[in-house]
A and B are shown apart, each in its own frame.
Chain A
Amino acid sequence: MRAALSRRSLLKAGAAGGLAAGFLLGFRLPLARAAGEFEPNAFIRIAGDGGITLIMPQVEMGQGTYTSISMILAEELDADFARVAVEHAPPSDKLYGNPFFGIQVTGNSNSIRAFWDPLRKAGATARAMLVAAAAQEWKVDPATCRAAASQVFHDASGRNLAYGVLADIAGSITPPTDAPLKAVKDFTLIGKPLKRLDTPGKVNGSVVYGIDELPAGVKFAALTLSPVQGGKVVKVDDSKAKGLPGVRQVIVLDDVVAVVGDHTWAAKQGLAALDIAWDDGPNAAIGSAEVWAALRAASTQKGAVAKAEGDADKALGDGDRLDADYEMPFLAHAAMEPMNCVAHVTADGCELWIGTQVMTRVQSEVAKALGLPPEKVIVHQHLLGGGFGRRLEPDMAIISARIAQKVDSPLKVIWSREEDIRHDVYRPVYRDVMSASLKDGRINAWTHRVTGSAVIARWFPPAYSKDIDIDGVDSAADIPYGIPNLRVEFVRKEPGVVTTGFWRGVGPNNNVFAVESFIDELAHKAGKDPVAFRIAMLDKTPRLKAAVQMAAEKSGWGGALPPRAGRGIAAQVSFGSFIATVIEAEADADGEVKLRRIVSAVDTGIPVNPDTIVAQIQGGLVFGLTAALFGEITIDKGRVQQSNFHDYRMLRINEVPAIEVHLIESGERPGGIGEAGVNPCAPALANALFAATGIRLRRMPIDRDALAGRKPA
């Protein structure tokens, strides 16, 4: 049966969608050029039969980037988009490094921002070479030729040649360094809501995520990691597990125990039958109370100054002063595809099947763990069943490879949902200490101290300097409002008991919450309408001003609502996008919250694929509202207390209202969009609930007891 499922080869688009473009799984070594092929750069390959393969430097985790990247390349290449196929890039920082980081990483909503220029240049250069090849064949001036739909035309003589026919000759043309880029008005693909290339296989079960791989002879493992980070195995009694049907092997490493079986169920049964004694290690006494006490204490210290203008301390004394603190909890990622990796370790090296946001890091870290040179670790990339920052970490690959090292066959290691939630890298707890003064109805002074983890210091040390986490102050140091006296500080405080990481929306989630909640509080203190108050301070950020105006207009801002219902707005500049969001919500007498309507106005510059932008904002809002309504990871005795979707709740379809996304026309460079939709949720919801109830919630997730008046907010 399994042999019939050889799915590693070319997967043409499914019949269900009638989609013309092909989707290619797997990859091959970079620049291994076949005869008759034209491979002008690391992103484009044109075969003699005219087939065009585009190699994706960024990974597809649902955000639509494979389609958008292909559109940019095909636009400048003048490729027939209906006939392009896409391929995962192999690991190579040199060829596929993200220009923003220098390593091969997908995150921070920067796929389009970082690759906009390189991809356009790659496409335009290849097009120029194909045009030059045709001109050489025809012995005409290249300037008299034009390209369209994978062909070069010489209109004067009525001749044309297909790219495939030109492939061989084009390979001998010297690449120009200054191939002209198209003017925005000449775009034929960019700006159109083209169909996604990755979705047909996702509606009929044929798509293969990392978790679906079944290399010949594969066995299956279930694992349990130390319940407390830093703990170690003391003793394992496997006498009850070893006799169970389908159980093959029990593997005990210092911090993980795994059972190998003929299938996952056998492995799970074996794992459940083990009696494991752990030494919980130094974190065993720590709980959420200790984490919060330490964070709050740290937030009273002066921080590293990320931004200073005017004299904030002096100006705080000049006007009507307001102080407030805001707090954000730990969060797990809970991607629908649980952590997993298929690993095959042999005497010669290691082969991995995985979906990851960090190809080269997986390769190098697994190599390090196994004592191999990196080139001995082969990484097969896949589509990701959600990333959200969780797959920016290589831990699942390292652990799987360490287990697979003890097994004589390929091994598929799958984290149970409980292991996935309890061994995440968590969105940090943050505390924001804010002060401001109002003078003549405007903000005269503003201080904002962010206290929390410096995720970037762990994840990418070169970007951490002067004690400031650039992500930790993102959308705070660059606050969009005109405020004459301003200081933004960062205090690093690591929780220790768990590792923290990037989580969709990253630093701006915390900062947009603090800034937009506090702005709202100041508007009310000044006796102003929250929209008018913001607009009056946005002269220096006209794109955001326009977004606020549009969101207010489309949401019916100021219109009548039933009792205990309200509208809240949040405005943000994040990831190069300018977004305003109005949430309409109500709270009943028992504190239960119902979302009524959401309206977002979005200026993200030139829209590459407008439908993808709308989808990302819709989805980001649901992701952010899930956190605002339910999201909190708590710790007791060093252990994460949540485990699965019954106690780490997700928003469901019956809880999601109508969401309207309005795009604002723009000719500016494209901004990022995957993270941005998450940012406005906490503040817009808290502001709406204040409008509905008069109760100000300064801590996420929302407190239903406070909304019901059972306890102070």
Chain B
Amino acid sequence: MITLTINGQSHDLDITEDTPLLWALRDVLGMTGTKFGCGIAQCGACTVHLDGHPVRSCMLPVGTIGTAQITTIEGIGATEAGARIQKTWLDLEVVQCGYCQSGQIMSAAALLANTPQPDDRDIDDAMAGNICRCGTYVRIREAIKKAAGVA
């Protein structure tokens, strides 16, 4: 039995330790906001936070998580940075198909929480692991700056 703390709530799961967190969230817990994109940590669609740091859940075995606090897109709005990112995402109409945006928002929320005044270089470093096939990058950059109050 694996015990995970997700968005402040404890869950017991009857899965093997090598199961990536992504599939535990999506298929076992029914929390489908976190997306599958590539399975090899190349696209960032599956990004969640572990103790506030962005990680790719598609390659994160649940057995390695221990007592770390997991935050997903379903819970990020409860954080100050996450709520601000969600709001500016809508204010600037960043989203198109939306499939990658859970991951984009998780990466952006972590950036904002850890680097409150990010410059372009910080944004590149934090966001380059997240692919958007619709090409919303220009607005993602603007929205992060707006959320940070640097634009």
Give the B-binding residues of A (Cβ under 8 A): 1-2, 4-5, 16-17, 19, 61-64, 195-196, 198-200, 202-209, 211-212, 214, 220, 245-246, 262-265, 334-338, 383-388, 414, 416-417, 611, 615, 618-623, 626, 644-646, 650-654, 656, 658-659
Distance in angstroms between the alpha carbons of A623 and B127 in the assembled complex: 18
Closest-by-CB residue of B relative to A263 is B27
A622 close to B135 (CB less than 8 A): yes
Distance in angstroms between the alpha carbons of A263 and B128 in the assembled complex: 30
B98 close to A205 (CB less than 8 A): no
- Which secondary structure dominates chain B's binding surface? loop
List 18 A–B pairs whose Cβ atoms lie within 8 Å, in order of A's numbering: A16-B87, A17-B90, A196-B93, A204-B74, A205-B33, A209-B99, A211-B32, A220-B27, A263-B24, A336-B43, A337-B97, A385-B99, A386-B133, A622-B137, A646-B40, A650-B133, A652-B127, A654-B128
Distance in angstroms between the alpha carbons of A196 and B96 in the assembled complex: 9
Distance in angstroms between the alpha carbons of A61 and B96 in the assembled complex: 7
A336 close to B45 (CB less than 8 A): yes
Interface presence of B20 (CB below 8 A): yes
A73 to B: closest C-beta gap in Å: 20
Interface presence of B131 (CB below 8 A): yes
A84 to B: closest C-beta gap in Å: 18
Contact residues, B123-149 vs A (CB, 8 A): 123-125, 127-141
Distance in angstroms between the alpha carbons of A659 and B130 in the assembled complex: 19
Distance in angstroms between the alpha carbons of A206 and B86 in the assembled complex: 13
Interface presence of B118 (CB below 8 A): no
Closest-by-CB residue of A relative to B27 is A263
A652 close to B74 (CB less than 8 A): no
A568 to B: closest C-beta gap in Å: 19
With A16-B83, A386-B133, A659-B138 in contact, do A211 and B42 touch (Cβ < 8 Å)? no
Contact residues, B59-114 vs A (CB, 8 A): 72-74, 76-77, 83, 86-87, 89-90, 93, 95-102, 105
A199 close to B15 (CB less than 8 A): no
With A19-B90, A618-B139 in contact, do A386 and B36 touch (Cβ < 8 Å)? no
Distance in angstroms between the alpha carbons of A214 and B20 in the assembled complex: 19
Contact residues, B12-26 vs A (CB, 8 A): 15-16, 19-20, 23-24, 26
Distance in angstroms between the alpha carbons of A208 and B20 in the assembled complex: 21
B20 to A: closest C-beta gap in Å: 6
A264 close to B98 (CB less than 8 A): no
Digit string of B1-39 for contact with A (CB within 8 Å is 1, else 0)? 000000000010001100110011011111111111111
Closest-by-CB residue of B relative to A418 is B39
Closest-by-CB residue of A relative to B130 is A653
Distance in angstroms between the alpha carbons of A336 and B130 in the assembled complex: 11
Taking A202-B98, A265-B23 as given, write out 19 further A-B residue pairs in contact, using a Cβ cutoff of 8 Å, ordered by the A residue number: A1-B29, A5-B31, A5-B32, A16-B86, A199-B93, A204-B33, A204-B73, A205-B72, A207-B33, A262-B27, A264-B27, A265-B15, A336-B43, A337-B99, A386-B97, A615-B139, A619-B135, A644-B40, A646-B42
The interface residues of chain B lying within 8 Å CB-to-CB of A64 are: 96
The interface residues of chain B lying within 8 Å CB-to-CB of A209 are: 99
The interface residues of chain B lying within 8 Å CB-to-CB of A203 are: 86, 89-90, 95, 98, 101, 105
With A338-B36, A620-B135, A622-B135 in contact, do A265 and B141 touch (Cβ < 8 Å)? no
With A203-B90, A264-B27 in contact, do A384 and B135 touch (Cβ < 8 Å)? no
With A205-B34, A263-B23 in contact, do A644 and B42 touch (Cβ < 8 Å)? yes
Closest-by-CB residue of B relative to A625 is B135
Most buried by B among A205, A263, A388: A205
Distance in angstroms between the alpha carbons of A679 and B98 in the assembled complex: 23
Distance in angstroms between the alpha carbons of A335 and B129 in the assembled complex: 17
Distance in angstroms between the alpha carbons of A118 and B95 in the assembled complex: 28
Distance in angstroms between the alpha carbons of A656 and B134 in the assembled complex: 13
Closest-by-CB residue of A relative to B135 is A622
Closest-by-CB residue of A relative to B62 is A265
B72 to A: closest C-beta gap in Å: 7
With A264-B23, A653-B123 in contact, do A338 and B37 touch (Cβ < 8 Å)? yes
B97 close to A653 (CB less than 8 A): no
The interface residues of chain B lying within 8 Å CB-to-CB of A650 are: 43, 131, 133
Most buried by B among A5, A61, A417, A620: A417
B97 close to A1 (CB less than 8 A): no
Most buried by B among A196, A207, A383: A207
Distance in angstroms between the alpha carbons of A615 and B129 in the assembled complex: 22
Distance in angstroms between the alpha carbons of A652 and B43 in the assembled complex: 10
Closest-by-CB residue of B relative to A264 is B23
Closest-by-CB residue of B relative to A204 is B77
A208 close to B32 (CB less than 8 A): yes
The interface residues of chain A lying within 8 Å CB-to-CB of B99 are: 209, 335-337, 385-386
B44 to A: closest C-beta gap in Å: 10
B42 close to A645 (CB less than 8 A): yes
Partner of A207 from the list B28, B29, B98, B100 (CB cut-off 8 Å) is: B98
The interface residues of chain A lying within 8 Å CB-to-CB of B26 are: 212, 264
Distance in angstroms between the alpha carbons of A656 and B138 in the assembled complex: 7
A619 close to B96 (CB less than 8 A): yes
A453 to B: closest C-beta gap in Å: 23
A72 to B: closest C-beta gap in Å: 19
Distance in angstroms between the alpha carbons of A417 and B83 in the assembled complex: 31
B133 close to A205 (CB less than 8 A): no
B29 to A: closest C-beta gap in Å: 5
The interface residues of chain B lying within 8 Å CB-to-CB of A417 are: 37-40
The interface residues of chain A lying within 8 Å CB-to-CB of B72 are: 205
The interface residues of chain A lying within 8 Å CB-to-CB of B20 are: 265
B87 to A: closest C-beta gap in Å: 6
A206 close to B33 (CB less than 8 A): yes
Closest-by-CB residue of A relative to B90 is A17
Distance in angstroms between the alpha carbons of A334 and B96 in the assembled complex: 15
Distance in angstroms between the alpha carbons of A383 and B31 in the assembled complex: 18
B41 to A: closest C-beta gap in Å: 10
Distance in angstroms between the alpha carbons of A262 and B16 in the assembled complex: 12
B95 close to A202 (CB less than 8 A): yes
B86 close to A385 (CB less than 8 A): no
A652 close to B23 (CB less than 8 A): no
Distance in angstroms between the alpha carbons of A202 and B136 in the assembled complex: 14
A265 close to B27 (CB less than 8 A): yes
Distance in angstroms between the alpha carbons of A618 and B128 in the assembled complex: 18
The interface residues of chain B lying within 8 Å CB-to-CB of A206 are: 33, 74
The interface residues of chain B lying within 8 Å CB-to-CB of A204 are: 33, 73-74, 76-77, 86
Most buried by B among A61, A200, A619: A619
Closest-by-CB residue of A relative to B32 is A212
The interface residues of chain B lying within 8 Å CB-to-CB of A199 are: 89-90, 93, 95, 98
3 shortest interchain CB distances as A-B pairs: A205-B33, A622-B135, A62-B97
Distance in angstroms between the alpha carbons of A414 and B26 in the assembled complex: 13
B40 close to A336 (CB less than 8 A): no
Closest-by-CB residue of B relative to A646 is B42
The interface residues of chain B lying within 8 Å CB-to-CB of A198 are: 98
With A205-B74, A414-B36 in contact, do A615 and B29 touch (Cβ < 8 Å)? no
With A245-B16, A338-B37 in contact, do A611 and B135 touch (Cβ < 8 Å)? no
Partner of A63 from the list B15, B40, B93, B96 (CB cut-off 8 Å) is: B96
Distance in angstroms between the alpha carbons of A220 and B125 in the assembled complex: 35
Distance in angstroms between the alpha carbons of A619 and B137 in the assembled complex: 8
B86 to A: closest C-beta gap in Å: 4
The interface residues of chain A lying within 8 Å CB-to-CB of B87 are: 16-17
B51 to A: closest C-beta gap in Å: 20
Most buried by A among B29, B32, B105, B141: B32
